Structure 1
Amino acid sequence: MRSTGIVRKLDELGRITLPIELRRNLDVAERDPLEIFTDEDTIILKKYNPADIFTGEMDNLIEYKGKKVSKNSIIELSKLAGSSIEE
């Protein structure tokens, strides 16, 4: 992990502002979703990229009932169910 040398204080609502240079370098736009991770005493922010709920694959995604599923997973699941899907 690299230090940016940037220090920010939380406001009264617990918010921080990410500097514009950091947002530009990481391609984070206004209203982009960020995932929050913790590792002991460390907080990690990561730009959220939806992925297949089964494999983590990020290509050819289809949304079903609020979840992302790849076409490959759908094909594999149809085989498990005894059906076949033609591509």
Structure 2
Amino acid sequence: MKSTGIVRKIDSLGRMVLPSELRSNFNLKEGDALEIFTSNDMIVLKKYAPADIFTGEMDNLIEYKGKKVSVNTIKELARIAGLKINNNTNLLQDDFELDDPM
């Protein structure tokens, strides 16, 4: 973890202002949500990124109709639907083959 050298005080309501340079560097806009994590003696802020609605997985997400779904979940749902999936990490049209073609 890299130190920015920036120190901020917390006000009586527990608020702290993130410097505009940091907000700009991390593309944080007014109204953006931040997740708060703790690790030992650290508080870590991370721009909120919703996880897979089925599994909570946060990697390899695809947004569909405003909901996040991971590639792994898509592959599992395709298997349940009777589609054969190649084991490639990228989902391409050629990765799907119907078990019972019409």
TM-score normalised according to structure 2 size: 0.63
8 Å CA contact retained: 2:38, 2:44: yes
SS of 1:27's equivalent?
Answer: coil
Larger radius of gyration: 2
Q: Structure 1: which 5+ runs fail to align?
A: none
Cα RMSD after superposing both structures = 2.5
Moved >6 Å (runs of 4+): none
Q: Which amino acid aligns with 2:44?
A: I
Q: Structure 2: which 5+ runs fail to align?
A: 84-92, 94-102
8 Å CA contact retained: 1:34, 1:46: yes
Q: What is the count of residue pairs matched by the alignment?
A: 82
- Between 1 and 2, higher relative CO (CA 8 Å, sep ≥ 6) is seen in 1
Matches within 5 A, 1:5-84: 5-53=5-53, 54=55, 55-62=57-64, 68-70=68-70, 73-74=73-74, 76-77=76-77, 79-80=79-80, 83-84=81-82
TM-score normalised according to structure 1 size: 0.72
- Greater shift, 48-57 or 23-32, is seen at 48-57
